[in-house]
């Protein structure tokens, strides 16, 4: 009987060691997989949402907001073609794309008057990083997730971009480089 129990303990011990080795192998592979995924650009991993804002041709709802430089922003103030970008401070792709958007916006005819950036920050979120990056090339409005501008445009994903003229969305995309460049009024 003792030989049987000894053999059983040895078999259980061997199975336990094999299980432990298998676990270490799985953990190593997960780390390699995580490192490989980290090298893939976000845009390649993310399938675009069906509509990240209202479709082109849709009317923007009425809204009122104030930019970071204390200028009122309303639907009526977007009469000329305006490039619009929506960014969330809690969104890694938003933080990654903000400098690229700022560089793109710097080349838009009409300057800051033709570019509007909406930064979504709720509660204790610090919007200063994105605001600092976008500040030189766009009018900026900081609002919450249920803010007036994001609601007026029907934004459902971040980052998202559009062109609006006369209160109507003329183009929208999740990649601003695919949008037409606004023409000054």
pLDDT confidence of residue 40: 63
pLDDT confidence of residue 31: 87
Query: Among candidates 143, 138, 148, 121, which has minimal Cα distance to 176?
Result: 138
pLDDT confidence of residue 37: 74
- Delimit the domains of the chain by residue range: 2-39, 48-178
pLDDT confidence of residue 42: 52
Instruction: Please give the order of strands across the beta sheet that includes 160-165.
Output: 139-143, 115-120, 82-88, 160-165, 168-173
Mean pLDDT computed over every residue of the chain: 86
**121 token code pair:** 């920050």
Alpha-carbon separation of residue 67 from 103, 133, 140, 149, 179 (angstroms): 20, 15, 5, 11, 23
pLDDT in tens, 107-132: 888 888 899 999 999 877 788 889 99
pLDDT confidence of residue 47: 46
Q: Quick one: average pLDDT of 37-60?
A: 70
- Range 48-178: architecture per CATH: 3-Layer(aba) Sandwich (3.40)
The neighbouring-strand residues paired with 64 are 74
Cα–Cα distance, 141 to 158 (Å, whole number): 15
Query: Does the pLDDT of residue 61 top 90, yes or no?
Result: yes
The neighbouring-strand residues paired with 182 are none
pLDDT band per the 50, 70, 90 thresholds, residue 50? low
Cα–Cα distance, 99 to 179 (Å, whole number): 17
User: Residue written as tokens 């029907």?
Assistant: 154
pLDDT in tens, 16-47: 999 999 999 999 998 888 887 777 655 544 54
pTM metric for this prediction: 0.71
Query: Does the pLDDT of residue 15 top 90, yes or no?
Result: yes
pLDDT in tens, 157-178: 899 999 999 889 998 888 877 7
Main-chain phi, psi angles of 36, to 5 degrees: -65, -40
């Amino acid at each position: 009987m003792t030989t049987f129990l000894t053999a059983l303990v040895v078999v259980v011990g061997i199975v336990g060691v094999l299980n432990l080795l298998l676990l270490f192998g799985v953990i190593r592979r997960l780390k390699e997989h995580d490192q490989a995924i980290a090298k893939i650009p976000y845009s390649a991993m993310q399938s675009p949402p069906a509509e990240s804002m209202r479709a082109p041709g849709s009317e923007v709802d009425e809204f009122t907001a104030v930019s970071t430089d204390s200028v009122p922003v309303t639907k009526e103030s977007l009469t000329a073609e305006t490039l619009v970008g929506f960014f969330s401070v809690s969104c890694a792709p938003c933080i990654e794309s903000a400098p690229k958007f700022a560089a793109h916006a710097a080349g838009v005819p009409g300057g800051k008057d033709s570019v509007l950036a909406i930064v979504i920050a709720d509660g204790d979120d610090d919007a200063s990083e994105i605001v600092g990056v976008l500040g030189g090339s766009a009018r900026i409005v900081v609002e919450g997730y249920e803010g007036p501008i994001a609601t007026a445009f029907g934004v459902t994903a971040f980052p998202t971009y559009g062109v609006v003229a006369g209160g109507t969305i003329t183009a929208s995309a999740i990649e601003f480089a695919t949008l037409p460049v606004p023409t000054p009024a």
